[in-house]
Amino acid sequence: MSNASDTPSKGPASVAVIGAGIGGLAVATCLRRIGVDVTIYEQAPQFSRVGAGIQMGPNAMQVLSRLGLRERLGSVAYTPPALANREWDTGEVTFSLPMGDRAEETYGAPYFLLHRGDLHEALTTLVPSDIVRLDRRVTAIRELADRVTLDFQDGSSVTADAVIAADGVHSIVRQQMFSADDAVFTKRVAYRTVFPTSLMDGNPPDVASTKWWGLDRHIVIYFVSAGREIYFTTSVPDEEWTTESWSAQGDVAELREAFAGFHPEVQAVLTACPSVHKWAIYDRDPLETWHSDRVVLLGDACHPMTPYMAQGAATALEDAVVLSRCIEQLGFGRLPEAFAMYESARKPRTSRIQSESRSNHWLRRPQDTHWVYDYNAWSVPLPTPEPVSAGRED
Ligand SMILES: Cc1cc2nc3c(=O)[nH]c(=O)nc-3n(C[C@H](O)[C@H](O)[C@H](O)COP(=O)(O)OP(=O)(O)OC[C@H]3O[C@@H](n4cnc5c(N)ncnc54)[C@H](O)[C@@H]3O)c2cc1C
């Protein structure tokens, strides 16, 4: 066992959160606000600024605003006037969803385009640094009747009253406790990069947030860092590349080749970009069970999705709020019921988004957007708690 400082202290109920990503930091913040003693275990030795943009739609901004981050994020966000959808060759606009000031009027919160590093950094300010244990990679989890034990790669262990696994798309907790990884490689890749707008020689893209729809591929281009940087991400057929990682490098020449023939505005962005990363896109079905008596999954760990609706991190943020509301309502003494309540509150929505995202037609044509963007995790009604069968034996 590790020393006492690594063991969440007794007194208030202790929760170990695995993963200091978007969902992990958010749920730790929410739980601390209702008096839960939280410790976060993160495998990375330090936080690094992943070169990516991230769209935070109104449903995500509801969460972030109430956590107190709206002003901070507003100073580094780009607020798009619209989400434009255009044909790859002619540039014809097939649908443009008004955003800007209209987002707040229509959905109750703004639509922010952010550098992922800015979002993550903002979330880290919500938790005291001494509750985040870096360089602690969980290798095994064991649930007993009255506690959960985590083993780490460095040979140490900790125990906690409960564990929230926010350990992302490759979740070890999902694999060890709930389901072997059934990821299906879509044979498509996301090239992505962030680069200074100044590299466009004073000719930045006309429309600040556009998805360019090709016959079998697309590219999404938008400003981040309050317009100082440009981000794009793609979906391109690729039978060979199977690495699902934020750090893997791609080949710019291959990328430009993949978009030869696209509209001149796209060509201009691809010509200006100096380097790219490459992420293999996998798809996974909704998971049957999200929790046991003392362990629960959150974010990509339980509902990983293709990135085609820009809702993965948004739904992780929603999970964090709803899970903490369920725990607050039922109390720590009824944890299995609280976990079940959270799963039944969240699964229909995340499964629907997983399925919609898989089909990749979001916003190509006019459609209902309210079911996604109107959702307010702080006020959405919670289901009636159901009794849960007695806990497991040691
Ligand atoms: C190309 C692309 C574009 C995207 N764009 C958007 C977008 O615009 N909007 C949006 O909402 N979503 C977007 N997403 C999805 C979004 O990135 C994810 O859904 C989101 O990061 C999930 O958050 P999470 O907290 O569940 O996981 P993560 O943010 O991945 O965090 C998991 C954390 O757990 C840590 N960890 C993992 N295993 C262990 C272990 N064994 N022990 C300890 N720590 C561990 C990891 O190091 C990491 O810090 C995009 C995804 C991709 C691939």
Q: Identify whether the C-beta of residue 46 lies closer than 8 Å to the C-beta of residue 337.
A: no
**Residue 200 C-alpha to ligand 1 middle, in angstroms?**
30
Closest CA to 347 of 390, 386, 367, 318: 318
Q: Identify whether the C-beta of residue 280 lies closer than 8 Å to the C-beta of residue 183.
A: no
Host H or E run for residue 22 = helix 22-33
pTM of the predicted structure, to 2 decimals: 0.95
The terminus-to-terminus CA distance of the chain in angstroms comes to 19
Residue 156 one-letter amino acid: S
User: Which of ligand 1's atoms lies nearest the C-alpha of 190?
Assistant: 1
Which residue segments constitute the domains of the chain, with CATH numbers given?
4-49+121-181+285-364 (3.50.50.60), 53-116+184-283 (3.30.9.30)
Of the listed 111, 222, 308, 373, which one is catalytic?
A: 222
* pLDDT-above-90 percentage for the chain: 85
At 227 the three-state DSSP class reads helix
Look at ligand 1, atom 30, and give the residue with the nearest C-alpha: 168
pLDDT single digits (tens) 60-69: 999 999 999 9
Which residues line the pocket of ligand 1, CB cutoff 6 A?
Answer: 18-24, 41-44, 54-55, 137-138, 166-168, 172, 190, 192, 233, 279, 299-301, 307, 310-314, 316
User: Which of ligand 1's atoms lies nearest the C-alpha of 152?
Assistant: 42
**Residue 304 C-alpha to ligand 1 middle, in angstroms?**
9
Mean pLDDT of the chain: 93
pLDDT single digits (tens) 322-369: 999 999 999 999 999 999 999 999 999 999 999 999 999 999 999 999
Site to probe by mutation for ligand 1, drawn from 17, 25, 43, 375 as the one with most ligand atoms within 8 Å of Cβ, is 43
pLDDT single digits (tens) 260-273: 999 999 999 999 99
pLDDT single digits (tens) 105-148: 999 999 999 999 999 999 999 999 999 999 999 999 999 999 99
Look at ligand 1, atom 3, and give the residue with the nearest C-alpha: 307
**What pLDDT is attached to residue 181?**
65
Q: Identify whether the C-beta of residue 104 lies closer than 8 Å to the C-beta of residue 110.
A: yes
Task: Judge whether 107 counts as a catalytic residue.
Answer: no
User: Which of ligand 1's atoms lies nearest the C-alpha of 171?
Assistant: 38
